[in-house]
Amino acid sequence: MKHLKLFFSLVAIVFTSLSSTAEVKVADIFSDHMVIQRNINVKVWGDADPGEKLHVTFNSQKHKTKANNKGEWSIVLEPMNAGGPFDMIIKGENEIVLKNILIGDVWICSGQSNMEWPVSKSNNPEKEIEKANYPNIRLFTVPRKVSNTPIKSMPNTSWEVCSPQTIKNFSAVGFFFGRDLQKEIKVPIGLIHSSWGGTHVETWTSKASMSKVPKYESIGEQIDAYNTKEIAQQKKKELMTKLGVLPEEEIGMKEQWMAPETDYSSWKTMPLPNLWEHVGYNGLDGIVWFTHKIVVDTKDVNLDAKLHLGKIDDSDIAWVNGQQVGGMVNSWDVERVYTIPKGILKSGVNTITVRVDDTGGGGGFKANTETFKVQLGSKTISLSGDWKFQIDKVYANFRMSPNDVPSLLYNGMINPIIPYGIKGAIWYQGESNTPRSKEYEITFPNMITNWREDWQQGDFPFLFVQLANFKAPSTIPMEDDWAELRETQTKTLNLNNTGMAVTIDIGEAYDIHPTNKQDVGKRLMLSALKVAYSKDVVHSGPIYKSIKIEEAKAIISFNHIGSGLFVKDKHGYINEFEIAGADK
189-195/95-111 β-pairing: parallel
| Structure confidence at residue 215 (pLDDT) | 93
Rounded Cα gap, residues 218 and 149, in angstroms: 16
Nearest Cα to Cα of residue 469 among 311, 576, 580, 310: 576
Report whether pLDDT(269) > 90: yes
- Predicted model pTM: 0.84
SS3 state of residue 258: coil
Encode pLDDT of 567-583 as tens digits. Answer: 888 898 887 777 777 88
Identity (one letter) of the amino acid at 89? I
Encode pLDDT of 55-84 as tens digits. Answer: 999 999 999 999 999 999 999 999 999 999
What number is the average pLDDT over the span 511-533?
Answer: 96
Rounded Cα gap, residues 492 and 527, in angstroms: 14
Is-contact 42 56, C-beta < 8 A? no
Encode pLDDT of 6-54 as tens digits. Answer: 454 444 444 444 444 569 999 999 999 999 999 999 999 999 999 999 9
Report whether pLDDT(316) > 70: yes
Is-contact 520 173, C-beta < 8 A? yes
**How much is the mean pLDDT over the chain?**
92
Identity (one letter) of the amino acid at 577? F
Report whether pLDDT(354) > 80: yes
Angle at 74 between CA 71 and CA 75, to 5 degrees: 150
Report whether pLDDT(557) > 60: yes
Report whether pLDDT(186) > 90: yes
Rounded Cα gap, residues 412 and 148, in angstroms: 8
Rounded Cα gap, residues 355 and 364, in angstroms: 10
The residue length of the chain stands at 584
DSSP state letter for 310: E
Confidence of residue 267 (pLDDT cuts 50, 70, 90): very high
Report whether pLDDT(339) > 80: yes
**Taking the CB of residue 558, how many other CB atoms lie within 10 A of it?**
12
Confidence of residue 3 (pLDDT cuts 50, 70, 90): low
Encode pLDDT of 390-432 as tens digits. Answer: 999 999 777 778 999 999 999 999 999 999 999 999 999 999 9
What number is the average pLDDT over the span 522-541?
Answer: 95
Is-contact 77 44, C-beta < 8 A? yes
What number is the average pLDDT over the span 520-527?
Answer: 98
DSSP state letter for 169: T
Is-contact 242 279, C-beta < 8 A? no
95-111/35-37 β-pairing: parallel
Report whether pLDDT(103) > 60: yes
Rounded Cα gap, residues 354 and 275, in angstroms: 14
